Structure 1
Amino acid sequence: MNFPARIDVHHHIVPPVWAETLASRGLDSGGWPIPAWSPRSAIAMLDRQGIATGVMSVTSPGVHLGDDAAARALARSVNEYGAEVVKDHPGRFGHFASIPLPDVDAAVAEAVHALDVLGADGVVLMSNAHGKYLGDADFEPLWAELDRRAANVFVHPAQPPMTLLPGTPAPLADYVFDTTRTALDMVLNGVMDRYRAVRVILSHGGGFLPYAAYRFSGLAPTVVNRERKADDILRDLKRFYFDTALSASPSALPSLLAFAEPGHILYGSDWPFAPQETGTYYNQFLETYPDFTPGQAAAVDRGNAEALFPRLAR
């Protein structure tokens, strides 16, 4: 691998206005503290981990903290900040814009502004918006708008609308559960079938979706929707893209490689929320994994992302 080469599609930005807003409300990310972040520290991490470009996104709880008007203002401030970071550091950063779901009208307007005016590389959606999952019929106008633009959509997990396990922050267990839950919701409600131009990236190897996909596709036609065949559901599950953040492990990576379509696995770090030593472990596993097919490792590191983000292609 030429250094630096990777495109990191799961790189978090911590805009000052967002961090200050969370702190003022006593909020964090599902029990996980909000770390410090700066363009300088981010670039230093990119260089250490062999990453050419980090595509930035705000993590859970996103920008809608309960008030529609405040969410609209926070989304615009966060997105303008991200666009400036990209502008100031050409080639080192990309940007997924935050949008204020569940306020659908505002979410559509902010997505259009971010993509058309700010030049965002896509949008980031939390896996649920105050308990409403991404297959909800109310979100159809947003999916239709994103589909018209063939947009990249990065789905990041959020705390599910239920009590956490005692003493267990949401990122430890519930985030992988909520990613799987919203992906299945999107498929069973036809989002992935109706909007085929949109490219949806699931965090953390898709939660446990690759491991359980054949269970979902086999059971769903008999207990949920008898009009859809198992092959149709499996096809839509395979339309997702997946990042490797916290998922390039001896058990998860083989399952992901066995399930994902060619070109659908992308490198992800989850920095700065994932500890540096954790990122080093997963990178070493990716770099020494013996069962990649010829060219597959380079595609995961960079080539597959270049297809989704042509402006980052060399």
Structure 2
Amino acid sequence: MSFRARIDVHQHIVPPVWADALAARGLDSGGWAIPAWSTSSALAMMDQQGIATGVLSVTAPGVHLGSDADARTLARAVNEYCAEVVKDHPDRFGHFAGVPLPDVDAAVAEAAYALDTLGADGVVLMSNAHGRYLGDPAFEPLWAELDRRGATVFVHPAQPPMPLLPGTPAPLADYVFDTTRTALNLVLNGVMTRYPRVRVVLSHGGGFLPYAAYRFSGLTSTVVDPDRSAENVLRDLKRFYFDTALSASPSALPALLAFAEPGHVLYGSDWPFAPQEAGTYYNHYLETYPDYTPGQAEAINRGNAEALFPRLAAERP
């Protein structure tokens, strides 16, 4: 971009209280080290990468690290820290609030507090909560509350409930698998049909969902659930939004743009868990893609996010 315009919907924050809680438990992000973070380093990266505003979120493993009680406390501390960062730089940052799934009652309460009191721009859910995927019937009260509010939900992958491949941290391979798994679980369990007002953003171009969508629709309608048409399955799969983090490539971008509904592709960086050099690498492909329709590049970089987050539209540079 020739001016500072991008809205980055996939930008992470590392609150000290969260980093300390992970360290105390010997945890990381699926075999990926927790990087340093500061407001000044985030702003410097954004200025260099053409990003006007970053919507901040904590990454995997989220805020539920053990007991329900500890998770409630950590979620509140993380969300209040994020809200302070946004308050200090309202034109540069937004945030998705973490909620302590699989504690459903606490997740509903924290979502309401974050959206009503802290002014969060949405909530972030991990793709699985201690092995339970987002279409789990027990999570229905949370989806009902988010739908009632017309909330935006950012789904970030987590380590799936299986051992890591030797020498292969989860963000390298397993995260794209787990994003796809939870998205399909949401569709097959009817969540995307029952809650049409909630907007769900899938990380990393939706994993391999755009590439495999017609596999899912064709086999569901003929084998898994013959009472459901392929068109019905595709309709729900196309309700998702997708960010471009680590996914703006010559092979992934054509599949993503061919599948996603107009207005459903958003810019993402995944910084600082993806270093700035990675952002530059994928930005090059995003900026040089030869087959955009008129206005499509500008919409991906900013316009589509403005539609999801009207507050940020008012901050146009």
TM-score range, shorter chain: over 0.9
3-state DSSP of counterpart to 2:153: strand
Instruction: Tell me the amino acid that sits aligned with residue 312 of structure 1.
Output: L
Q: Distance in 2 between matches of 1:169 and 1:268?
A: 21
3-state DSSP of counterpart to 2:96: strand
Instruction: State the partner residue of 1:164.
Output: 164
Instruction: Report deviation, 1:262.
Output: 0.1
3-state DSSP of counterpart to 2:94: strand
Structure-to-structure mapping, 1:78-157, within 5 angstroms: 78-157=78-157
Instruction: State the partner residue of 1:296.
Output: 296
Instruction: State the partner residue of 1:62.
Output: 62
Q: Distance in 2 between matches of 1:82 and 1:120?
A: 9
3-state DSSP of counterpart to 1:11: strand
Instruction: Tell me the amino acid that sits aligned with residue 73 of structure 1.
Output: T
Instruction: Report deviation, 1:284.
Output: 1.3
Q: Distance in 2 between matches of 1:114 and 1:306?
A: 20
Is 1:216–2:191 an aligned residue pair?
no
Instruction: Report deviation, 1:226.
Output: 2.1
Instruction: Report deviation, 1:208.
Output: 0.1
Identity of aligned residues (%): 82
Is 1:236–2:227 an aligned residue pair?
no
Instruction: Tell me the amino acid that sits aligned with residue 4 of structure 2.
Output: P
Is 1:27–2:27 an aligned residue pair?
yes
3-state DSSP of counterpart to 1:63: coil
Instruction: State the partner residue of 1:75.
Output: 75
Dislocated runs of 4+, deviation >3 Å: none
Instruction: Report deviation, 1:66.
Output: 1.6
Instruction: Report deviation, 1:29.
Output: 0.1
3-state DSSP of counterpart to 1:55: strand
Instruction: Report deviation, 1:2.
Output: 4.5
Structure-to-structure mapping, 1:12-51, within 5 angstroms: 12-51=12-51
Instruction: Tell me the amino acid that sits aligned with residue 279 of structure 2.
Output: G
3-state DSSP of counterpart to 1:254: helix
Q: Distance in 1 between matches of 2:84 and 2:149?
A: 22
The one-character-per-residue Cα deviations of 1:253-289 (angstroms, maximum 9, x if unpaired) are 0000000000000000000000211110111111111
Instruction: Tell me the amino acid that sits aligned with residue 90 of structure 2.
Output: P
Instruction: Tell me the amino acid that sits aligned with residue 248 of structure 2.
Output: A
3-state DSSP of counterpart to 1:96: strand
- Give the TM-score normalised by the residue count of structure 2: 0.98
Q: Distance in 2 between matches of 1:163 and 1:156?
A: 19
Q: Distance in 1 between matches of 2:297 and 2:147?
A: 29
- Give the TM-score normalised by the residue count of structure 1: 0.99
Instruction: Tell me the amino acid that sits aligned with residue 178 of structure 2.
Output: D
Structure 2: stretches of 5+ with no match in the other structure: none
Instruction: Report deviation, 1:164.
Output: 1.2
Instruction: State the partner residue of 1:312.
Output: 312
Q: Distance in 1 between matches of 2:62 and 2:223?
A: 33
Structure 1: stretches of 5+ with no match in the other structure: none
Q: Distance in 2 between matches of 1:163 and 1:223?
A: 30
Is 1:205–2:227 an aligned residue pair?
no
